[in-house]
Amino acid sequence: MTDSPDLVLRDGRITTLDAATPDVQALAIKDGLVQAVGTTDDIMRTAVPGTKVIDLGGRRVIPGLNDSHTHLIRGGLNFNMELRWEGVPSVADALRVLKEQAARTPAPQWVRVVGGWSEFQFAERRMPTLDEINQAAPDTPVFILHLYGRALLNRAALNVLGFDKSTPNPPGGVIEKDASGHPTGLLLAKPSALILYSTLARGPRLPVEDQINSTRHYMREMNRLGITSVIDAGGGGQNYPDDYDVIQRLHDAGELTVRIAYNLFAQNAGGELGDYERWISMVKPGAGSSLLRMNGAGENLTWSAADFENFLEPRPDLAPTMESELEPIVELLAANKWPFRIHATYDESIDRFLTVFERVNGKQAFDARLIIDHAETISDRNIDRIKALGGGIAIQHRMAFQGEYFVERYGAEAAQATPPVSTMLAAGLPVGGGTDATRVSSYDPWVALFWLTTGQTLGGLPLYGESNTLDRETALRVWTEGSAWFSGEADVKGTLAPGKYADLVVLSADYMAVPPQEIRRINSVLTIVGGDVVYGEGSFADLSPPIPPASPDWSPVNTVPSPAQRAEVGGETKHARACADGCNSHCGVHGHDHMIAWNNPLPVSDKNAFWGALGCSCFAA
């Protein structure tokens, strides 16, 4: 009796990613671990009267998805305040939800649209104009972040911030002003995104109790999308231990529904070495539990090593002092056997980092994970150097949002391997999938899996040929087994093999079989973490744990469908269909066929025709 399973899942199509038994019908769970896999008949023979049995009804099951580079801890503190534009099909729809949210939002709060969208997803193929934003929200401050390059503020936000004719440009940023010298509402990263993030940080914060509620809702959103684990890459303004209090409180209360391994991000320019010396005396990698554990250093090790991912601007050269500032930090981490990760967009940056790492490794051999984050333009030579150091690369779907800009600046040929995922895998390098959410890319892993398997941007631009796109199983493995390496948990995560965590997802549609465009509409109908149901919908809704409404009560989370709340309406997915996949309906505002926009080439080479005054007239009108 003591060996009988606690839970059995039967009659499914289970992709285990375990070579011994790759496809099975049923799975038994005991004490939070996978106990056995096999046919429904075989697994049901192990059940006893006290065993809970869930009939999967033939649905596809996969190992829980694991985002190897995201910012859940910071994102959770703000999630309930943010309006999401993921999947919104037109500028008209985006402005409508903005107007509705502005009417709900009380003073002194702002409406924030922070990441997850691209103007190329809109039928109009343009950004909203500042005039449109001001018309939609004349009185409530609005902050809209667009990729790593710009933010759009309405007049109410400019007034609250005190931006006027006398406000100077900060280093690396531009406050655009009109002919009379008044701010227009456009902030530009030139190339530093500090102007964008520092302005966002001036908005009101939620009280701690609302931050706790917000983080719970963000984790529920992750669970809806099939995410059971993440690696949190820290972030600017995310100080340890103070800004980890909310996530620690949730852990201690038994309310974490996502496994989190977190990195510590150096905060103080010029004092980064001191940050790590202090943290090494406070905590060790692996400290914590299977649900919340410390993972090492990064993604920022020293500010002088930070290159920029803004493809609207030329590639910046790192400071000549970078090596002398980075090396003692890496020496300290190596001596204390701390894993570390470092942000690196460009091969030129990676080349310089690796020279430092090789020098340190020659004196103190690395005995922990070395991780390069992003690596969009990495060369074959530097892939080999990372392999020789025993390192891995964490990739994200940032090109799905910025591919058009990269092509405009560097050309279509250069974009064909950004990043060269197939080459990394062929070299035998650990590769983990991720999003880099929430401030730019969407936290939706299905957008990333769509990008990996089709090579397309959100706007439908093909970036890669077959040589740099992945088959669906390989892409899934990158997002599960691959990501597990980056937190040192490959022995317990990533496949549904006996003895590993019972972290798994029952899908709304068969990822292995649906047409390519439908991959990004998939969500979870049942998510299990450590043998416990953390989310259910549809026929599994009665298994879903309750969660209080989002607070405060004006939160967009209570009203606006999120990427993971894709309610079926008339056979279509609300707020989630891309016009590029065959939409022939007419827009109620403009009265046009959406495909008119999608069938015309992008006029990105003519900035005046495309952007005008930050947005062309809607040519679909």
The pLDDT of residue 308 is 85
CA-based nearest residue to 263, from 283, 278, 246:
283
Residue-wise DSSP of 96-122? HHHHHHHHHPPTT--EEEESS--GGGS
- Residue found under tokens 């090579």: 455
Average pLDDT over residues 536-547: 98
The rounded mean pLDDT for the chain is 91
Decide if pLDDT at 237 tops 90: no
Our CA angle for 426, 428, 430, nearest 5°, is 115
* Structure confidence by residue, pLDDT tens digits, 438-478: 988 999 999 999 999 999 999 999 999 999 999 999 999 99
The pLDDT of residue 566 is 57
Element (DSSP H or E) covering residue 296: strand 292-297
CA-based nearest residue to 141, from 96, 200, 97:
200
From its phi and psi, is residue 99 left (phi > 0), alpha (psi between -120 and 50) or beta?
Answer: alpha
3-state secondary structure of 82: strand
pLDDT band with cut points at 50, 70 and 90 for residue 433: very high
Q: What's the half-sphere exposure (Cβ side, CA atoms, 13 Å) at 356?
A: 21
C-alpha span between 64 and 438 (Å, rounded)? 20
Selected residue with higher pLDDT from 125 and 609: 125
* Structure confidence by residue, pLDDT tens digits, 306-349: 998 889 889 989 999 999 999 999 999 999 999 999 999 999 99
* Structure confidence by residue, pLDDT tens digits, 337-347: 999 999 999 99
State the CB neighbour count (10 A cutoff) for residue 437. Answer: 27
Decide if pLDDT at 248 tops 90: yes
Q: Report yes or no: 467 and 454 within 8 Å, Cβ to Cβ.
A: no
Decide if pLDDT at 617 tops 50: no
The pLDDT of residue 604 is 44
Q: Which is it for strands 65-70 and 227-232: parallel, antiparallel or unpaired?
A: parallel
* Structure confidence by residue, pLDDT tens digits, 164-222: 999 999 999 999 999 999 999 999 999 888 999 999 999 999 999 999 999 999 999 99
- CA gyration radius, the chain: 24
C-alpha span between 247 and 342 (Å, rounded)? 23
Element (DSSP H or E) covering residue 135: helix 130-136
The pLDDT of residue 309 is 85
C-alpha span between 145 and 42 (Å, rounded)? 53
Enter the DSSP assignment of 593: B
Decide if pLDDT at 414 tops 70: yes
| Residue type present at position 616 | C
How many residues are listed for the chain in this entry?
621
Average pLDDT over residues 551-557: 97
Average pLDDT over residues 86-96: 95
C-alpha span between 189 and 194 (Å, rounded)? 7
Give the helix, strand, coil percentages of the chain, each rounded to 5.
35, 20, 45
Reply yes or no: is the peptide bond before residue 438 cis, omega within 30 of 0. yes
Q: Report yes or no: 56 and 12 within 8 Å, Cβ to Cβ.
A: yes
* Structure confidence by residue, pLDDT tens digits, 558-583: 999 988 885 433 333 333 333 444 44
Average pLDDT over residues 257-283: 97
Give Cα separations from 388 to 80, 361, 365, 482, 594 (angstroms): 44, 11, 12, 18, 50
Cα 117 to chain centroid, rounded = 12
The pLDDT of residue 121 is 92
Quick one: what percent of the chain has pLDDT higher than 70?
A: 91
Q: Residue 342's beta-bridge partner residues?
A: 372
3-state secondary structure of 225: coil
Enter the DSSP assignment of 397: S
Average pLDDT over residues 481-501: 98
Average pLDDT over residues 411-415: 96
C-alpha span between 227 and 231 (Å, rounded)? 11
The pLDDT of residue 115 is 87
- Residue found under tokens 């049923």: 26
The pLDDT of residue 191 is 85
3-state secondary structure of 392: strand
The pLDDT of residue 439 is 86
| Residue type present at position 66 | N
Q: What's the half-sphere exposure (Cβ side, CA atoms, 13 Å) at 228?
A: 30
Label residues 589-613 b or e (16+ Cβ within 10 Å = b).
Answer: bbebbbbebbeeebebeeeeebbee
3-state secondary structure of 176: strand
Q: Which two tokens stand for residue 403?
A: 């591919």
C-alpha span between 151 and 534 (Å, rounded)? 36
Q: What is the largest CA-CA distance in the chain?
A: 81
* Structure confidence by residue, pLDDT tens digits, 4-46: 999 999 999 999 999 999 999 999 999 999 999 999 999 999 9
SS (H, E, C) 527-559: EEECCEEEEECHHHHHHCCCCCCCCCCCCHHHC
Q: Which is it for strands 370-374 and 340-344: parallel, antiparallel or unpaired?
A: parallel
CA-based nearest residue to 307, from 148, 75, 70, 487:
148
Alpha helices in 188-244 (DSSP H): 194-200, 208-224
* Structure confidence by residue, pLDDT tens digits, 129-164: 999 999 999 999 999 999 989 999 999 999 999 999
